[in-house]
Structure 1
Amino acid sequence: MRSPSPVIASPPGRIPRLFGLLLATLAAVLVLLVAAPTGAHAAEGDPYRISGNVQLDGEPLEGVELTIDGPGGKQKVTTDENGQWKVSVPEKNADYTVTLDEDTLPEGIAVVDPEDDSPNEKDVTVGAGGRVSVNFFIGEGERNVTSFWDQLIQRTFQGINFGLMLGLAAVGLSLVFGTTGISNFAHGEMVTFGAVATSFLVGASTLALPLWIGIPLAVVLSAVLGLVLDVVIWRPLRRRRVGTVQLMIVSIGLSLAMRYTFQFFIGGGTTQLPYAAAPKMSFGPIQMSWIDIASFLISIFVIVAFALWLTRSHLGKATRAISDNPSLAAASGIDVDQVVRVVWVLAGALAGLAGILYAYYLPGLKWDMGAQVLLLMFAAVTLGGLGTAFGALIGSLIVGVLVEVSGLWIPEDLKYAGALVVLIVILLFRPQGILGRRERIG
């Protein structure tokens, strides 16, 4: 019988405090980065162009504001004395959304299009020629204004949906930290991998498999990725007794390597998965497509199945035991290496599924999409309680709702920063998290 490996114990509460301090510092830095102007926006000298006219009964309207969103970031433009506007964009064969701000129209005037529920918003594609025009039909009419409470209900539902997706990824991140002590900064790239694999399997220019075959295969490939990372990188480092700080640095390097590998293969643009533009259906104040409904139901089903596995199965109970006390679990006969291997497989599968659903939620697949939500995953894990799977789920739901609802009061570009500010405040008053306690749950 193999004797358990010696484990060097850390002072009680020291690791969670250090981890919480690190997360608070990273969150504060991200808030500053998000709030500061960056070079991510399109530049004046970009080679491609979107232009158009805004006229009322043939007469130009001056001073009307429009927002163009797509690759290169958001741009705002105002019509000139001829009712014309134009912006430069960095990519062709890419999708953009042009939104006219009806508040800048003259009194009693609205965008009119009986066949369109959102006539002030148009989706366009900059084709091979690198030019596209967008014109708006303006006339007398009544503006459709959504009440604050309807917006609150819609955003709350979107936040719950986003929180469930975030929870799928955060649960795996929490399990890895609880069983190995690794703060895996490459977990965001494991999220991206699921979407990239799906695009390769179901994309029209690649294998073009049916969606019901491609998505499960992408989840399986994500699970294989988790296993490969453990076998090739993490298990050898564990056997060499590498410290947690060194492991964290390795994970940061792995994150950068994977991220730029994705960029090399799929480019810097945005790729849409099949059915991403499914039409919206109205359920009272809530609007959602069948993709949103499927995402919601899949997330709930997987989370319930995972909770049953964690609380009822032998492996699940062993995972919880290792999270609570690895040395005691090893002394009681639990094969720690085997359980950790299973945890990495589960973490990869959950992260891959979260990436697929997130690509539909945005919508669109980008090479750095996982990195965009990495700190939100850490925020959810820390908010719920370090190393607790159920705490990570609760934290994810809170972060998801905060991110979406905060958009009612702050600019959309800052909504992620708002959630991280809340994280900093909570860490100051309850650093152990919501479910953080001596006897962990989950």
Structure 2
Amino acid sequence: MQGLVIGLAGIGLSMTYSILNFANFAHGDYITSGAFAGWATTYLVAGLGRADVGSLLLVGASGSVFGGQLGIGITETPLAIILGMVVAGVAAVGLSLFIDRFVYRPMRAEEGIALLITSIGVAFAIRYLILFVFGSDVRGTTDAGGVPEVAPYFVDGAIRISMHDVTLVVASVGLMLGVHLLLQRSKLGKAMRAMADNKDLARITGIPTEEVIRATWIIGGALTGVAGYMFILWKGTISFNDGWLLLLLIFAAVILGGIGSVYGAIAGGLVIGLAASVSVVWIPSEFARASAFIVMILILLFKPSGLFSGRATA
């Protein structure tokens, strides 16, 4: 489950790197922004008439209202969940386009390091704006808390899977398949692959590079926002630094899969997620992230260019 979230969020980061040639450190905070926008919508739809509108829009800041109290869940409030997922994607797209237009676009001709440093500043600005608006408290968001119906996952030799797990799998796999078809079958996908391979040649041959860049932010932003929303649905709690905590794992997945490769980001996300989750069988949970990076290093020792050999988009 965690690997699917990392892979889905990693697609946007990989697309940004391959086409714009810089590592966007604000990506994690795009995840958080999409998540909060989506969950504000879910709370509003599920709790309208049952709680104060301000408390609902602030996703129950300071314990003003709880997801469990509102009975939020994919089986209990499917419309609220679906609308929240859509709004999460749209909000992340809007934020991505806004930041690109007023921050990254004027610096497009600069070296990658300048954009990288700028993206770190953007990340801090977004994160502390979210902190100012929504507060720092961690709160539950769903009725079931995002855990299996019978905890833990393995009970008496049987695997217990919640509907939130199923929702995450269906949404993630569906979106990943959609990205594959877009890249391989559409005119836009071919233009994106051409720009990833050689931006100057793409411009000379008449490809509208700014339109392709805009499409990259739209697609990447939508996937990122949905990934953030689904991550909160799955784990059942939300905090202002959720995206930041995921960011290093996402970078690890993108590097492991082969920097710039969309398919590599998906594969890398699954490997990193599995490594972080399965390792707790043998080591304390606080070391799970470290084990994921150790697995990444070991794989890169034998395959330095990544699982997909650094191919730009395919």
TM-score by length of 1: 0.60
Which ranges of structure 2 fall in alignment gaps of 5 or more residues? 48-54, 58-69, 71-78
Mapping for residues 185-224 of structure 1, pairs under 5 Å: 185-203=25-43, 204=47, 205-206=55-56, 210-224=80-94
**After superposition, what is the alpha-carbon deviation per residue over 1:7-32, rounded to whole angstroms, capped at 9, x for unaligned?**
xxxxxxxxxxxxxxxxxxxxxxxxxx
Q: Determine which of 291, 294, 302 is the counterpart of 1:421.
A: 294
2:168 corresponds in structure 1 to: 295
Which amino acid counterpart does residue 324 of structure 1 have in structure 2?
A: D
| SS of the residue 2:56 aligns to | coil
| SS of the residue 2:160 aligns to | strand
Distance 2:35 2:145 in 1: 16
Q: Determine which of 140, 150, 156 is the counterpart of 1:272.
A: 140
| 8 Å CA contact retained: 2:37, 2:91 | yes
Which amino acid counterpart does residue 225 of structure 1 have in structure 2?
A: L
- CA positional deviation for 1:428: 3.8
- CA positional deviation for 1:276: 4.5
Mapping for residues 392-407 of structure 1, pairs under 5 Å: 392-407=265-280
- CA positional deviation for 1:397: 0.8
Distance 2:312 2:134 in 1: 41
**After superposition, what is the alpha-carbon deviation per residue over 1:21-80, rounded to whole angstroms, capped at 9, x for unaligned?**
xxxxxxxxxxxxxxxxxxxxxxxxxxxxxxxxxxxxxxxxxxxxxxxxxxxxxxxxxxxx
Mapping for residues 114-153 of structure 1, pairs under 5 Å: none
Distance 1:235 1:383 in 2: 28
Which structure is higher in strand share? 1
- CA positional deviation for 1:244: 0.6
**After superposition, what is the alpha-carbon deviation per residue over 1:228-259, rounded to whole angstroms, capped at 9, x for unaligned?**
11111111110xx2111111100111111111
| SS of the residue 2:259 aligns to | coil
Mapping for residues 269-418 of structure 1, pairs under 5 Å: 269-277=137-145, 280=149, 285-418=158-291
Q: CA RMSD in A?
A: 1.9
1:179 corresponds in structure 2 to: 19
Distance 2:5 2:208 in 1: 31
| SS of the residue 1:206 aligns to | helix
| SS of the residue 1:403 aligns to | helix
- CA positional deviation for 1:441: 4.6
| 8 Å CA contact retained: 2:38, 2:83 | no
Mapping for residues 422-437 of structure 1, pairs under 5 Å: 422-437=295-310
Which shows bigger deviation, 278-287 or 262-271? 278-287
Tell whether 2:98 aligns with 1:228.
yes
Distance 1:314 1:254 in 2: 32
**4+ residue stretches of structure 1 with deviation over 4 A?**
281-284
- CA positional deviation for 1:299: 0.8
**After superposition, what is the alpha-carbon deviation per residue over 1:146-182, rounded to whole angstroms, capped at 9, x for unaligned?**
xxxxxxxxxxxxxxx2111111100100000000011
| SS of the residue 2:22 aligns to | coil
Which structure is higher in helix share? 2
Distance 2:144 2:218 in 1: 28
| 8 Å CA contact retained: 1:276, 1:360 | no
Please identify the structure whose Cα radius of gyration is greater. 1
1:170 corresponds in structure 2 to: 10
Distance 1:403 1:361 in 2: 16
Which amino acid counterpart does residue 149 of structure 2 have in structure 1?
A: K
Mapping for residues 56-67 of structure 1, pairs under 5 Å: none
Q: Determine which of 126, 129, 144 is the counterpart of 1:261.
A: 129
| 8 Å CA contact retained: 1:276, 1:291 | no
2:61 corresponds in structure 1 to: none
Distance 2:312 2:37 in 1: 35
| 8 Å CA contact retained: 1:193, 1:352 | yes
* Identical pairs, percent: 37
| 8 Å CA contact retained: 1:194, 1:222 | yes
| 8 Å CA contact retained: 1:435, 1:441 | no
Distance 1:441 1:217 in 2: 27
Which amino acid counterpart does residue 413 of structure 1 have in structure 2?
A: E
- CA positional deviation for 1:271: 2.3
Which ranges of structure 1 fall in alignment gaps of 5 or more residues? 1-160
CA 1:248/1:198 → structure 2, altered by over 3 Å: closer, same or farther?
same
Aligned residue pairs: how many?
279
Which amino acid counterpart does residue 392 of structure 1 have in structure 2?
A: A
| SS of the residue 1:373 aligns to | helix
**After superposition, what is the alpha-carbon deviation per residue over 1:345-397, rounded to whole angstroms, capped at 9, x for unaligned?**
11111111110111122221100001111111111111111111011111111
Distance 1:210 1:251 in 2: 32
- CA positional deviation for 1:212: 2.5
TM-score by length of 2: 0.84
Q: Determine which of 225, 249, 274 is the counterpart of 2:117.
A: 249
| SS of the residue 1:265 aligns to | helix
1:15 corresponds in structure 2 to: none
